Amino acid sequence: MKIAVASGKGGTGKTTVASSLVSVWNAPVIAMDLDVEEPNLHLFLKPEFTGSRIARMEIPEVDQSLCTLCGKCSDLCQFKAISLMGEILMTFPEMCHGCGGCIAICAEKALRPSYRELGEISWGQAGKTDFIMGRLRIGEAMSPPLMREVKKKLNEMQLDAPKDVITDAPPGVSCPAINAVMDSDVIVLVTEPTPFGVYDMKLAHEAFTPMNKPMGVVVNRAGLGNSEIYDYCSAKNLEILAEIPYERSIAEAYASGVIISESSDKMKQLFLELAEKIQQKAGEVRRG
């Protein structure tokens, strides 16, 4: 079972929910942080890292002595990452998506593979929980290629003994967020009852709906704002799976790096019930 914890905007408590779910999950689980631009799940789960590797992406390098300036590669590239500039063929590595098409099409063998560093993948153990995360290289603009590498490592970890996966997804509704939730069985949308929270959650709901996956909402800081989020969920038949109250003790636990479900019996019970509801949602899908 794969659970993606997502949100339309940052700062809603997505990592709070993901870490707490991992803490109460009643089956072997892998915690995966795909918020590679700003990973912070490890700050709560505090894993002991056992390995890491630099992730790279293949990009073309030109041998100008072999290039006949035919232009086939630059015509092919949809991203303008390789381009004829007068009498010279230029590459723009930061714009390359690593499809390899230009290398394949060059009959002169004037393009050979080189590499661009995407970032680092790290893995380890947080108690009984397996942990994996990616961290994007500073200056790297594209996170989906690194996210794909993190998922490859996840598949390696799953080979011996498949486990459930709880993913901390990137916030927003652009490519990284879609990429993070597309493999999941259930999407948990974390929001807060403020005008920004409602607006961004609507965007996320609309962006994820075409994937036809079961979704539910966790309202964080419940009691803070107005009823708009509840009206929207009711109108869209979107189940509110849990409400995390707007309380000083919870904010203090968060600020201290404490997993919220471990901060009190009340919070533990709240997240146990949330985990059960998520498992029921996944089960409903499996039963069809």
d(CA 247, CA 155) in angstroms, rounded, equals: 39
Residues 194 and 224 sit within 8 Å (Cβ to Cβ): yes
The candidate with the shortest Cα–Cα distance to 71, out of 90, 54, 84, 62, is 84
Residue 35 or 140 with smaller CB distance to ligand SF4: 140
Q: What string marks each residue from 94 to 133 as x (binds ligand SF4 by CB under 6 A) or -?
A: --xxxxxxx--xx-x-xx----------------------
- Of the candidates 26, 50, 52, 68, which one interacts with ligand SF4 according to CB under 6 A? 68
**Does the protein bind ligand SF4 through residue 267 (CB under 6 A)?**
no
What burial class does residue 155 get, using C-beta atoms within 10 Å of its C-beta: 0-12 exposed, 13-18 middle, 19+ buried?
Answer: exposed
For residue 182, the minimal CB distance to ligand SF4 (Å) is 21
Q: What string marks each residue from 141 to 160 as x (binds ligand SF4 by CB under 6 A) or -?
A: --------------------
Residues 54 and 117 sit within 8 Å (Cβ to Cβ): yes
For residue 140, the minimal CB distance to ligand SF4 (Å) is 15
Residues 6 or more apart from 250 whose CB is under 8 A from it? 244, 260, 263, 267
Residues 6 or more apart from 243 whose CB is under 8 A from it? 218, 219, 222
- Beta strand 29-33 with 164-168 is parallel
Stretch that binds ligand SF4, among 48-56, 69-77, 215-223, 251-259 (CB under 6 A): 69-77
Stretch that binds ligand SF4, among 40-48, 76-84, 126-134, 267-275 (CB under 6 A): 76-84
- Beta strand 111-126 with 48-62 is antiparallel
Residue 94 or 284 with smaller CB distance to ligand SF4: 94
The candidate with the shortest Cα–Cα distance to 220, out of 10, 2, 37, 25, is 10
Residue 62 or 217 with smaller CB distance to ligand SF4: 62
Residue 113 or 257 with smaller CB distance to ligand SF4: 113
Chain positions contacting ligand SF4, by CB under 6 A: 59-60, 62, 67-73, 76-77, 79, 81-82, 89, 96-102, 105-106, 108, 110-111
